[in-house]
Amino acid sequence: MTSSAQPLSVAVIGAGMAGRSHAAGYRNVHTVFGAGLPPVRLAAIADANVELGEDAARRYGYEKALPSWEAVAEDPTIDAVSVVVANDLHRPIAEALIAAGKHVLCEKPLAGSLEDARAMAELERDAEVVTAAGYSFRRSPGIAAIREHVRAGELGDPTLFSGRYWCDYATDPNGPLSWRFKGGAGSGALGDIGSHVIDVAEYVAGPITSVSGASLSTQITKRPLPLGAVVGHHAVPVSEEVGEVENEDTASFTARFESGLVGTFSVTRTGFGLPNGLAFDVLGVGGRAAFDQHRPAEYLFDDAQPEARTRGARQIIVGPQLPYFAGGVPMEAPGVGAGNADHFTYQARAFLDQVAGVAEPLPACATFADALRTMEIIRAVVESSRDGGAAVDVPPAA
């Protein structure tokens, strides 16, 4: 582990919208959760799109922009790196960084293929550095609070988890054919946003043991080829030439949890009017809880209150009584919320806490092994869809 007496030098590979979220997170780590973390040097942001990288470095106060990930791997002064690029690049970059002795936080999904994800998880077992996967929704105060309700048995025996992630970033048929639309079944909406809701489900309700009833569909089967670099979900000029979309726009499936809990899941990137619609309900014989990312400053909770006249769902306003909020926001007042950017800050702090060996760290980040598990579940969903919705077992958690 890096000594707490030495500064930590960090870099981000990828200057798109998620890369900038990581960059901003590292910039803000000393504004949250007190002392204990050594000084952080914002060393570099790397992107093949040099102009994009330079703009991100300027915006977030990094010393320089680099034109390649190799330049980060070769820089002996850099200690910790976020990998936030196209999925099929995760494995070679992570392998090179770990070989160079750097700590690695890799965005989800872990890799472009299950084979690559398994190789990365195997590499993690013997790595002498910290490795982590970017499941930032674990840092939501509302989601973390619902997890505590479930784990404390406050809902009674759970009966149903219903999760969805509905987004609209792919509703425009003239949107460019970027890397997000390549890679085969499971790498579309399932891998991009489904990985988040699957991770949240297991984080809240425990391991999934099997899936069934899976269905995958593609609403927009052809898209125009871009005439320039595509950044995030932004529109760019496109040509008249079109290409085939290789993966799913929409997916649904059911699941069985180790506890016996039943789960239903649906994800789509063509959900009109829903910019970032991660939401879920957890039902039990003695209560229920619900969360919607479009309203992150609250969650709903209902339990067996003794007075029947006052029973019903209660709006729990996110405030200092919930995880991550106290010490995590400038205005520690109920109702001001904690948004997506805050989650990335908490994740960056947790990662660097692990790297520095902070005495009382935040809960550890998800591991490569955790992220591999999500991909194993996605693979099972794809297999179920190909086999008419048949039940497919998920390998046990490591």
pLDDT level of residue 5 (50, 70, 90 thresholds): low
pLDDT level of residue 2 (50, 70, 90 thresholds): very low
Tens of pLDDT, residue by residue over 143-152, are 999 999 999 9
Do 182 and 316 fall within a single domain? yes
pLDDT at 336 (0 to 100): 83
pLDDT at 14 (0 to 100): 97
The span from the CA of 76 to the CA of 350, in Å, is: 23
Do 15 and 63 fall within a single domain? yes
Picking from 137, 161, 183, the residue at the C-terminal end of a domain is 137
Tens of pLDDT, residue by residue over 47-59, are 999 999 999 999 9
Do 181 and 81 fall within a single domain? no
Do 88 and 190 fall within a single domain? no
> Which residues partner with 301 through β-bridges?
289, 314
pLDDT at 1 (0 to 100): 44
Q: Is position 342 within any domain?
A: no
Which residues constitute the domain of residue 113? 8-137
C-alpha separations of 173 from 190, 235, 322 in Å: 19, 11, 41
Picking from 137, 163, 195, the residue at the C-terminal end of a domain is 137
Tens of pLDDT, residue by residue over 207-259, are 999 999 999 999 999 999 988 777 777 778 888 999 999 999 999 999 999 99
Q: For all residues of the chain together, what is the average pLDDT? A: 94
The closest of 385, 393, 346 to 139, measured between CA atoms, is 346
The closest of 391, 165, 139, 149 to 283, measured between CA atoms, is 149
pLDDT at 308 (0 to 100): 67
pLDDT at 35 (0 to 100): 86
Give all strands of the β-sheet with 298-303 in edge-to-edge order.
314-317, 298-303, 287-292, 277-284, 158-166, 262-268, 250-257, 208-217, 392-393
Do 131 and 183 fall within a single domain? no
Do 241 and 152 fall within a single domain? yes
Do 101 and 245 fall within a single domain? no
The answer to whether 72 and 100 are in contact (CB under 8 A) is no
Do 239 and 157 fall within a single domain? yes
Do 195 and 277 fall within a single domain? yes
Could you tell me the two tokens for 299?
A: 């969650």
Q: Is position 12 within any domain?
A: yes
Which whole number is the average pLDDT over 348-356? Answer: 97
The answer to whether 253 and 215 are in contact (CB under 8 A) is yes
pLDDT at 227 (0 to 100): 83
Residue 282's CATH number: 3.30.360.10
DSSP 37-86: SPPEEEEEEE-SSHHHHHHHHHHHT-SEEES-HHHHHT-TT--EEEE-S-
pLDDT level of residue 281 (50, 70, 90 thresholds): very high
Q: Is position 366 within any domain?
A: no
pLDDT at 335 (0 to 100): 84
Do 13 and 108 fall within a single domain? yes
Pairing of strands 250-257, 208-217: antiparallel
Three-state DSSP state, 266:
strand
The answer to whether 289 and 149 are in contact (CB under 8 A) is yes
Residue 3 confidence (pLDDT) above 80: no
Q: Is position 70 within any domain?
A: yes
Picking from 120, 137, 154, the residue at the C-terminal end of a domain is 137
- Count of domains in the chain? 2
Residue 105's CATH number: 3.40.50.720
Do 93 and 148 fall within a single domain? no
Q: Is position 256 within any domain?
A: yes
Phi, psi (5° rounding) for residue 159? -120, -30
Tens of pLDDT, residue by residue over 72-107, are 999 999 999 999 999 999 999 999 999 999 999 999
